[in-house]
Amino acid sequence: MTSDQQGGPARRWRAAALAAVGVGMAGALFLGGVKATELWQGEPFPVADPVAVAGRLDARTQAVYDALLLPDAPLNREWPSEGIEASIYDCHPRGLAHFLDSISDSPPREPGTTAVHESWALAGVTHAQAVDAMARARQTLTAAGWKVTSYTDLSPDDVTLRLKPPQADDGVTDGVTDGVSVALYPRGNLAVFAGTDCIRMPDTTPVDFEGRPDVPGPSAPVQLRDRRTAGAVAAG
């Protein structure tokens, strides 16, 4: 047996080991390059249909209303931020490449992006009612997989509950981060707010001349919007 034949298996093992190391190094360099690119250009915005996102937020606020159990509190139809809005001015370029823009007093907006939020309020809610209602909501919603991110009771007119709903898995709004808050304001206004981080709209999304998508108005809370005889309650 020749020396080449005797060293064959060892040689082949070393070659395989070197190849594995080479592949590992190449993979590390590739991943490092990907991470460096992401740091420089910024994390991509999740792509989602703003109409679908608006529908999801509306369902979130409906779930909150159902959990609060305040059937006698009327809807404040003059609440200043009542409705669902898709803002195109809250989303800005990300990453180190846009660092100077990010610290500017008027950073440029990222084209093709939007942040969706919904707000409405109940009227005539006392501090004691708000505290009890938020306790009920915490118990019901956490049992359904929601998480409480904060709760503060600072004064008779300042009680706030912040919640993080479970991640959606509907194939349409996957990857979109949202949050919900319930807050007691002066004069008995109990506001429910839901909002998302910025999303990138699909290229086929209809937009106006400014690039703003059209989103539907809220249906939540359906129990109160179906009351055609309910009068407007001043926001104060």
Please list the residues that pair with 200 across neighbouring strands: 47, 113
Q: What is the DSSP string of the chain?
A: --HHHHTHHHHHHHHHHHHHHHHHHHHHHHHHHHHHHHHHH-PPPPB--HHHHHHHHHHHHHHHHHHH--TTSPB-TT-TT-EEEEESSS----SGGGHHHHTSSSPPPPTTEEEEEEEEEE-S--HHHHHHHHHHHHHHHHHTT-EEEEEEEEETTEEEEEEEPPPP-SSSSTT--EEEEEEEEGGGEEEEEEEE--EEPPTT--B-TTSPBP-PPP--SHHHHT-TTPPP----
Mind listing the pLDDT tens digit of every residue in the chain (236 residues)?
554 444 554 444 544 443 444 444 444 434 454 455 555 455 788 999 999 999 999 999 999 999 999 999 999 999 998 999 999 998 887 654 444 444 556 766 789 999 999 999 999 999 999 999 999 999 999 999 999 999 999 999 899 999 999 987 766 677 788 999 999 999 999 999 999 999 999 999 999 999 999 999 999 999 999 754 334 343 33
Residue-range domain boundaries for the chain: 8-41, 50-225
Please answer whether residues 75 and 122 qualify as being in contact, where contact means their C-beta atoms are separated by less than 8 angstroms: yes
**How does strand 147-155 pair with strand 113-122?**
unpaired
* Amino acid 227: pLDDT: 52
pLDDT of 128 reads 97
pLDDT at position 186 is 94
CA distance 118 to 62: 11
Distance CA 147, CA 145 (A): 7
The backbone region for 189, taken as left when phi is positive above 0, alpha when psi lies in -120 to 50, beta otherwise, is beta
